[in-house]
């Protein structure tokens, strides 16, 4: 079996390493516009060779689109045009609505699987990839009924083999839920990072005073802007709604503090503490 990874970064590279761990004889082809990424991917053993997109697809049983979501939108029609009969294409993008719309308009839609591994770190590029990234994480497949049984089975089998838990949603459900549980947290981290940098011009003071709490809260602000800007754009309606709700709570909290209303402040935080039970349940799965 030959797998092409288009976009050899954290997610695509970690997927390749995880699958290679289970199937050491599987052959991996890398496709990337960055010569540095290509060299690093070869050096780390993420892929066996680097080829142009058309040559890679012609040899592939599976083509994995692991680029930023705006590039997935651009590449998907070409990938499906070139996809051999019986081969499968799938994406690993963090939005699904527009990607599924593009796929639905193509005559080879049945050979495509819309997938989103719910995993990542604040780091990017092939140097950040590691084989354990996807183990125990959730994998969302959208519009599975639009994929052929063979393509769906191939994708499901590989994700299960590397230790992922599979869930199924519509693209609309996916994008709505992700706006709250993923996209909003990244925006919050970017905004917090900017706020601190604007107010604390002395970076050494930030370094000296920062605790592990600050570091963990702002960690996501180190994430790739090239990856996240297209995500916010493609899911802008849901993200805007999530931000509006978040800003309303922040404004309310500010008023409570301005009013020295300690009772309401305590109530806010006690209500928010319920998230502990949710997170503990996630960790025990």
Taking only the tens place, the pLDDT of each residue in 85-131 is 999 999 999 999 999 999 999 999 999 999 999 998 888 899 999 99
* Rounded CA separation 155/115 (Å): 9
Report pLDDT digits (tens) over 129-188: 999 999 999 999 999 999 999 999 999 999 999 999 999 999 999 999 999 989 999 999
Taking the C-alpha atoms of residue 200 and residue 219, their distance in angstroms, rounded to an integer, is: 17
**Hey, which residues does 89 pair with through a beta bridge?**
63, 112
Cα–Cα dist 32/126, whole Å: 11
Confirm if 133 and 18 have CB atoms less than 8 A apart: yes
pLDDT at residue 197, rounded to an integer: 82
- Position 78 scores a pLDDT of 98
Residue range 233-257: average pLDDT? 96
d(CA 128, CA 93): 18
Q: Which residues contact 125 (CB under 8 A, 6 or more apart)?
A: 9, 10, 37, 40
Percent of the chain with pLDDT over 70: 93
What pLDDT is stored for residue 212 in this prediction? 66
Give residue-wise pLDDT tens across range 21-30. 999 999 999 9
The CA-CA-CA angle for residues 111, 115, 121, to 5°, reads 145
Single pTM value for the model: 0.89
Does residue 282 have a pLDDT over 60? no
Band of the pLDDT at 209, cuts 50, 70, 90? low
- What pLDDT is recorded for position 284? 59
- Residues 37, 195 contacting (CB under 8 angstroms): no
Provide the pLDDT for residue 121: 82
pLDDT of residue 122: 82
Dihedral sign for Cα 116, 117, 118, 121, please: negative
For 46-94, what is each residue's pLDDT tens digit?
999 999 999 999 999 999 999 999 999 999 999 999 999 999 999 999 9
Question: pLDDT value at position 261?
Answer: 95
Does the pLDDT of residue 283 top 60, yes or no? no
């Amino acid at each position: 079996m030959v797998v092409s990874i288009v976009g050899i970064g954290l997610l695509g590279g970690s997927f390749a390493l995880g699958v290679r761990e289970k199937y050491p004889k599987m052959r991996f082809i890398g496709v990337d516009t960055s010569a540095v990424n290509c060299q690093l991917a070869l050096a780390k053993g993420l892929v066996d060779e680097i080829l142009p997109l058309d040559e890679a697809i012609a040899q592939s049983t599976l083509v994995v689109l692991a680029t930023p979501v705006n590039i997935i939108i651009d590449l998907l029609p070409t990938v499906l045009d070139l996809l051999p009969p019986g081969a499968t294409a799938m994406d690993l993008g963090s939005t699904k609505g527009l990607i599924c719309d593009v796929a639905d308009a193509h005559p080879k839609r049945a050979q495509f699987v819309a997938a989103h591994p719910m995993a990542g770190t604040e780091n990017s590029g092939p140097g950040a990839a590691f084989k354990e990234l996807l183990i125990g994480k959730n994998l969302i497949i959208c519009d599975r009924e639009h994929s052929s049984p063979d393509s769906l089975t191939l994708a499901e089998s590989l994700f299960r083999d590397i230790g992922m838990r599979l869930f199924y949603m519509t693209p609309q459900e996916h994008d709505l839920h992700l706006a709250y549980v993923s996209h909003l947290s990244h925006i919050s981290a970017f905004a917090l990072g900017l706020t601190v940098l604007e107010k604390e011009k002395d970076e050494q003071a930030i370094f000296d005073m920062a605790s592990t709490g600050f570091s963990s809260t702002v960690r996501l602000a180190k994430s790739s802007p090239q990856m996240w800007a297209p995500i916010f754009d493609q899911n802008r309606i849901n993200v805007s709604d999530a931000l509006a709700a978040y800003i309303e709570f922040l404004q309310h909290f500010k008023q409570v503090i301005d009013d020295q209303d300690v009772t309401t402040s305590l109530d806010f935080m006690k209500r928010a503490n319920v998230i502990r039970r949710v997170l503990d349940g996630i960790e025990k799965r």
